Chains A and B, each alone.
Chain A
Amino acid sequence: MNNTLRHVRHVLSENPVTMVAAALFGLFVLLAIFGPLIVPYDPLASGAAHALKPPSAAHWFGTDSLGRDILSRTIVATRLDLGIAVAAVVLSFGIGIALGLAAGYFGGGWDLTVTRLSDTIMAFPLFVLAMGIVAALGNTVGNIVLATAIINLPFYVRVARAETNVRRSAGFIEAARLSGNGDLRILALHLFPNILPPAMVQVSLNMGWAILNAAGLSFIGLGVRPPTPEWGILVAEGAQFIVSGEWWVSFFPGAVLMLAVFSFNLLGDALRDIFDPRKRT
């Protein structure tokens, strides 16, 4: 355990960018939890008098076409976006890992079905599939989560299946069975903990991707509806004003979105460096 901690500190200190990413990540988590409590204005309070005002001391991010404070709306949106992404990733992770473990462990029919399912999902451009799922199931936030979870399934299936297969061909599973362990025990106590490190790397890399997906779907009008603040919607609300020069309406939410995704991705890279330095590019 000490060695891991030392290694973690080594990786973190080696690359200052990683420290920045970790700090940003922490900031976003805090904003998600405490955001609505610390915002200067009510994110839904509109006032035509101060519509489309550029950034100023009173409104750091300016105001939108309904006079709402963009900073407040952006901060409050953090909870929704992060919440959607976390829910989607947790769902993906849970189902994907379970399926992948089953495929690698039992082989045969399980393997065939799971692989087919995974391949079929990946046969679509993933964003398009998400669109189709939300369109088919209904335009709600829950379905955004479900759609994002479904399109991310293959990544977790792949990780779990690959790791299990490696251990299976190394005789690991055979040995565990011979020592009298039942299937469930082997899966839960022996295989799952070993899968955790690469799976966690996948999670952090996926989080950024999930946030982008959710924001993208909202941008084109799926899922979250105005006036609920969500980064994609905030950018969409400001899109029409770009051509007339009111840049701040879209810019700040978009920049914050980018920063969030960026810090998650950097964190994912750092995690990957910690757990498997061979895969560094």
Chain B
Amino acid sequence: MAAILSVILRRLLAALPNLIGVVIITFLLTRALPGDPAAYFAGAAATQEAVEQVRKSLGFDKPLPEQFLRYVSALAQGDFGSSLTTGQPVLQELLTRLPASIEMVLLALLVACAIALPLGVMAATHPGSWIDQICRVITTAGVSLPTFFTGLVLAYVFYFLLGWAPAPLGRLDPIFSPPPALTGLYLIDALLAGDLALWWAAFKQLVLPTLTMALFVLAPIARMTRASMLQVLSSDFVRTARASGLSNTTVRVRYALRNALLPVVTTLGMVFGFMLGSSVIIEKVFGWPGVGSYAIDALTASDYAPVQGFVLAMGVLFVLLNLAVDLLYTLIDPRISLER
């Protein structure tokens, strides 16, 4: 037990430098604005006095290291600045909009895994078959797909041509009101509230954006699964298992698959990075009210605090997600959890 705890602790400590790095880089980005940063934060209509005031209150007149300390302590108190356009604190707005992004990302991951894992496994167990060919096409073509293009094509086909999907206008059709917010994830909250009509409405809106993102990450997951499975299937211990007469299913699932999935889990970290990045674009295409579109709207309005808050939040989220994946891997691979 102590061994596992010490391994977990070590992983947590290893993530710390990355967190620090994220904060430092975000800080540098806030100070990298060309021209006078105080003028940006004061707004285009500010007078000279107002700009000076902002400069003093935000500490732009102090030396850089001191600015950094002020920045960090502000962050620690939850002060990410305020949006010029909405006047609201950035952190609050980010937190309000985060569940929308997370719901889409999580669902997309589930869908992608549900398709890519079996695809990769079958491509490996039936090399040269049509499944294998499909897998290869997906893997090669998948990484070339521009998300905005796929999203628009899907919207055109399924909404305009076929009428199966609703208009890409956000999380819910305006005639519905959101469920009582327990998790912020409409699918779960609607279920908890027992409102099936609402659940279905939320689900319909989720389909296209989720599908777009899932298509994007299918490729790396399928590729890794196939490669890993191929390697494991030709390994010594699988040969021993077959030589002992174990059934095909046992060999493939209990011996091959479990071992093959381990490297796939480590791929998930990288996959999350792709998803968080592409979520920005998908939110724009589908009018999804998540953190990505929040940042884009702020950018267009030259409102910088939200953008910086967004970059920081994404960086922190990504580090934490990687940590979670790391910890998951640690727990499922006995060779690591038993490290002495």
Is there a contact between chains A and B in the complex with CB atoms less than 8 Å apart?
yes
- Tell whether A265 pairs with B144 under 8 Å between CB atoms, given A127-B280, A135-B299: yes
A9 sits at the interface (CB 8 A): no
- Tell whether A254 pairs with B223 under 8 Å between CB atoms, given A120-B24, A128-B280, A243-B155: no
Are B146 and A257 touching (Cβ within 8 A)? yes
How many residues on chain A are close to B (CB under 8 Å)?
49
A131 sits at the interface (CB 8 A): yes
Are A131 and B280 touching (Cβ within 8 A)? yes
Min CB distance A236 to B, Å, is 8
CA distance A251 to B280 in the complex (A): 20
CA distance A216 to B146 in the complex (A): 8
Are A220 and B156 touching (Cβ within 8 A)? no
B25 proximity list for chain A (CB < 8 A): 120-121, 124, 129
B139 proximity list for chain A (CB < 8 A): 281
CA distance A258 to B277 in the complex (A): 18
B227 sits at the interface (CB 8 A): yes
Binds A, one of B45-53, B236-244, B307-315: B307-315
B285 sits at the interface (CB 8 A): yes
B146 proximity list for chain A (CB < 8 A): 212, 215-216, 232, 235, 254, 257-258, 261
Within 8 A of A (CB), among B139-156: 139-141, 143-149, 152-153, 155-156
A247 sits at the interface (CB 8 A): yes
Are A265 and B22 touching (Cβ within 8 A)? no
* Residue interface bits A227-247, CB-to-B below 8 A is 1, else 0: 000001001101100111101
Binds A, one of B27-35, B192-200, B249-257: B27-35
A250 proximity list for chain B (CB < 8 A): 149, 152
A239 proximity list for chain B (CB < 8 A): 148, 152, 285
Partner of B168, one of A125, A243, A247, A262: A243
Within 8 A of A (CB), among B184-221: none
Partner of A116, one of B21, B304, B318: B21
CA distance A3 to B272 in the complex (A): 42
How many residues on chain B are close to A (CB under 8 Å)?
59
CA distance A116 to B22 in the complex (A): 11
CA distance A247 to B33 in the complex (A): 38
Are B30 and A136 touching (Cβ within 8 A)? yes
Within 8 A of B (CB), among A81-137: 116, 119-129, 131-133, 135-137
* Residue interface bits B42-86, CB-to-A below 8 A is 1, else 0: 000000000000000000000000000000000000000000000
B33 proximity list for chain A (CB < 8 A): 136-138
Are B307 and A124 touching (Cβ within 8 A)? no
Are A243 and B160 touching (Cβ within 8 A)? yes
CA distance A277 to B276 in the complex (A): 33
Are B18 and A123 touching (Cβ within 8 A)? yes
* Residue interface bits A245-272, CB-to-B below 8 A is 1, else 0: 1010011001101100110011001000
Which residue of B has the minimal Cβ distance to A220?
Answer: B296
CA distance A127 to B32 in the complex (A): 18
Min CB distance A157 to B, Å, is 15
B26 sits at the interface (CB 8 A): yes
B295 proximity list for chain A (CB < 8 A): 131
* Residue interface bits A189-204, CB-to-B below 8 A is 1, else 0: 0000000000000000
Within 8 A of A (CB), among B116-169: 139-141, 143-149, 152-153, 155-156, 159-160, 167-168
Partner of A235, one of B18, B140, B152, B277: B152
Task: Please report A residues at the B interface, Cβ cutoff 8 Å.
Answer: 116, 119-129, 131-133, 135-138, 208, 212, 215-216, 219-222, 232, 235-236, 238-239, 242-245, 247, 250-251, 254-255, 257-258, 261-262, 265-266, 269, 281
